Amino acid sequence: MTTQLDLDRLKKAAALEAVEFVRDGMIVGLGTGSTAKHMIVALGEKVRAGMRLRGVPTSHETAALAKEAGIALIDADSRWELDVAIDGADQVDPGFNLIKGGGGALLKEKIVAASAKQFIVLVDYTKQVPMLGGSFPLPIEIIPFGWGSTAREIESLTKSRVVLREKNGAPFRTEAGNLIVDVHIARIHHPKDLEIALNQIPGVVETGLFIGRTSILIVGSPHGVDIHHAPEQ
């Protein structure tokens, strides 16, 4: 039986492989979450060894970790172009499509992924699924105004249960001040079509579906670390 400690070790192994793709002088998108934390620590070690790099964080939590690791950060208002972005995922299917947003940073994560020449995704093997959905709900960031109506539209489209995310008994707020609803979809057969349809609903800011964005998938498993390159889109 794989324990949480074992999974954390696999995440760290994947992160150590990922930072080998970072070269001196690069601008790096820094993901959010437990796997990304290992990546930030590893990059900090490279900085202390003399590597020059700058980072764009995807959350306040990541920014704090990066500063602690000694990674110089670019102002969020700058017009940056990233050499590489490195982040984790909550689910990944055989087509390299992802569900992200378990930590609530999906909007910034998608902006950063879209701005990068290369998007590297780190997961432990338990995040690999034959089809997105099922065991992990799809997060969708929505604006607070009329959120109930937006949720109803999402429910009507997906034919699935939509739950407002809460934290400490109050609605969870993203760093942009928005809300998140988690959509419990049994199976997402056509993730690209679903992403397009959801983004047509007024009030939806962004979805946790990351379709066709992954350049490299790095998987930590009990048998070692596997590196998969996405086929040409």
Binding-site positions for substrate: 32-35, 87-90, 100-103, 127
CA atoms within 13 A on the CB side of 220: 22
Contacts 24+ apart (CB under 8 A), 223-230: 224/13, 225/13, 225/14, 225/17, 227/17, 228/96, 230/96
Binding site per annotation, positions: 32-35, 87-90, 100-103, 127
| Active-site pick, 20, 45, 68, 109 | 109
What CA–CA distance (Å, rounded) separates 20 from 23? 8
Q: How far is CA 73 from the centre of its chain?
A: 19
The answer to whether residue 109 is catalytic is: yes
CB-neighbour burial class of residue 132 (10 A; exposed 0-12, middle 13-18, buried 19+): buried
Question: What string of DSSP letters covers 167-194?
Answer: ETTEE---TTS-EEEEEE-S--S-HHHH
Asked whether 221 and 124 are in contact (CB, 8 A), the reply is yes
Asked whether 44 and 18 are in contact (CB, 8 A), the reply is no
Q: Which two tokens stand for residue 35?
A: 């796997």
DSSP 97: -
CA torsion sign for 154, 156, 158, 160 is positive
Side chain identity at 67, as an amino acid letter? K
**Residues classed as catalytic:** 109
